[in-house]
A and B are shown apart, each in its own frame.
Chain A
Amino acid sequence: MDEVKLRCELGVLTRPDGSVLFSEGETTVVAGIYGPVESKINKTLVEKACVEAYFRPKSGLPGVKDRLNESMIRNVCEAVIAVALFPRTAVVVVVQEMQNNGQLISCALNATCLALLNSGIDMKCMYAAVTCFLDRSDSIVLIPPADEREIKGSFMFVFDSVEKTILASHTEGSFSIDQYKDALSLCREESTNIFNFFKKALTIK
């Protein structure tokens, strides 16, 4: 089976503290991190940093669908950033979609992880997001089928780098429990590749 090709370029933007241009297969996003910065008064938390996530679609204004992506990015980042070290501040995560070929959420999440590593903010662990697809012949593949109608469902998992437990899960379409389990184990295998890619990308620098 072919692998999903990962590419990244760290520090593409000069203004943010950490930034990355990341592509997973044909899906590409740019992510930038600002932080810790001064937070809005009504969002300030006394005991920890508040994470703000902004997801910009490739055209038009962000809609309801993007709010869901934002909430996932925010929740995952909140779980891995050592938020307790920066009370009363904000960490701003901005993701700009460039091209979507099915793995948009996992690509956005992986990009934020790389951008966070690039910014050097304190983190508890790394994470990797993997998307896989269930096609009409009931087989689970990592590469999105060329024809959109072939996709019966898709699974997205986020794993942490230490214990490889599940940080986040998101699915589309309907499927049996066994298929879900299969997808989970396939994605967990693939997550090792992504972690290795992250490590390689950061070591070369």
Chain B
Amino acid sequence: MVEDVNENTTVFPGEVIKDVKAVKGVTILGPGLKRNEDPPNTLRITRAGKLQFKPPNIYWVSHNHKRYIPKRGDLVVGIIVKKAGDSLRIDIGSGEYASLSMLAFEGATKKQKPDVQVGDVIYGKLLNAHREMEPELVCVDSYFKAGKMGPLSNDGFVFTVSLGLVHRLLDPENPILTALGKVFPYEIAVGMNGKVWVNGRNTKEVLTVLRCLETAELHDDKVIVELCRQSK
């Protein structure tokens, strides 16, 4: 049983956290936690990992996953696996394929549909992700503008990294991507589902990004920044 919540305590499924901090009776729970019915005001851990707490009332368990579980609002990279009438089936690495309507692209109408083929890579947003339903992707925001979303160029390269690394890369303060950018220019789309699309001036540079992210899986940010500095 975990009595006091310290940052970075390793917790295991079945353990119970007591004295949960709440603001006006509200506690925000992230992945890996479930509310306990009895005794009240306790949480039950459902994953092994490090317990994290962000004052005043946010709790979650961090764990380096490989399998993506869709969450509403996540920006993901997916691959078209099937075209069926007006909808596309996209592999986003979760248990089920996501669906993407042909009309959910900027400027698409019944007559003018986007030119996408099976095998193309899509950067989109999860409109709907509920465990009882199939996930639904869109490539437009609520103003019907694409922004950065839409099909990604076929010149790029897609690979999969662990979800822990994705969370690190997407942290605005993380230095890895900026440090790499100082060495050579490249384009990157990091999906919350662990799929990463990279495009560069030539194959060698794309592979350098790939190698760099593979190294980042095992080492911390400083090592990568140091490597980038040396290669300049």
CA distance A123 to B47 in the complex (A): 6
- Pick from B10, B14, B66, B96: contact of A203, CB below 8 A: B10
In the complex formed, the residue of A with least CB distance to B69 is A36
- Contact A126:B14 (CB < 8 A) given known A17-B67, A82-B46, A120-B49: yes
Contacts of B47 in A (CB 8 A): 117, 120-123
CA distance A17 to B95 in the complex (A): 12
Report A's interface with B, CB cutoff 8 A.
16-18, 34-38, 80, 82, 85-90, 117-126, 160-162, 198-199, 202-203
Report B's interface with A, CB cutoff 8 A.
10, 12-14, 32, 34, 46-49, 63-67, 69, 94-97, 131-132
- Pick from B10, B13, B94: contact of A124, CB below 8 A: B13
- Whether B10 contacts A123 by the Cβ 8 Å rule is no
Main secondary structure of the interface of A (DSSP, over half): mixed
- Contact A161:B13 (CB < 8 A) given known A86-B131, A87-B132: yes
Determine how close the nearest CB of chain A comes to the CB of B135; give it in whole angstroms: 12
Determine how close the nearest CB of chain B comes to the CB of A83; give it in whole angstroms: 11
In the complex formed, the residue of A with least CB distance to B65 is A120
- Whether A125 contacts B67 by the Cβ 8 Å rule is no
- Whether B66 contacts A126 by the Cβ 8 Å rule is no
Contacts of A161 in B (CB 8 A): 12-14
Contacts of A36 in B (CB 8 A): 67, 69, 94-95
- Contact A123:B14 (CB < 8 A) given known A18-B66, A38-B96: yes
Interface-central residue, A86, A90, A120, by most chain B CB under 10 Å: A120
- Whether A119 contacts B66 by the Cβ 8 Å rule is yes
Main secondary structure of the interface of B (DSSP, over half): loop
- Whether B63 contacts A38 by the Cβ 8 Å rule is no
CA distance A18 to B67 in the complex (A): 9
In the complex formed, the residue of B with least CB distance to A91 is B95
- Contact A35:B67 (CB < 8 A) given known A117-B12, A161-B12: yes
Contacts of B69 in A (CB 8 A): 36
- Contact A198:B46 (CB < 8 A) given known A18-B66, A36-B69: no
Query: What are the 5 closest A-B residue pairs judged by CB atoms, nearest first?
Result: A125-B14, A123-B13, A122-B46, A120-B63, A36-B95
Determine how close the nearest CB of chain B comes to the CB of A170; give it in whole angstroms: 23
Q: List 17 A-B contacts (CB under 8 A).
A: A16-B66, A36-B67, A117-B12, A117-B48, A120-B47, A120-B49, A120-B64, A120-B65, A121-B67, A122-B32, A122-B46, A123-B13, A126-B12, A126-B14, A161-B12, A202-B10, A202-B48
Interface-central residue, B32, B65, B66, by most chain A CB under 10 Å: B66
- Whether A86 contacts B95 by the Cβ 8 Å rule is yes
Interface-central residue, B14, B34, B47, B49, by most chain A CB under 10 Å: B14
- Whether A125 contacts B65 by the Cβ 8 Å rule is no
Contacts of B66 in A (CB 8 A): 16-18, 119-120
- Pick from B34, B64, B96: contact of A89, CB below 8 A: B96
Contacts of A18 in B (CB 8 A): 66
- Pick from A82, A119, A199: contact of B12, CB below 8 A: A199
Contacts of B12 in A (CB 8 A): 117, 126, 161, 198-199, 202
- Pick from A89, A160, A199: contact of B95, CB below 8 A: A89
Determine how close the nearest CB of chain A comes to the CB of B142; give it in whole angstroms: 29
Contacts of B48 in A (CB 8 A): 117-118, 120, 202
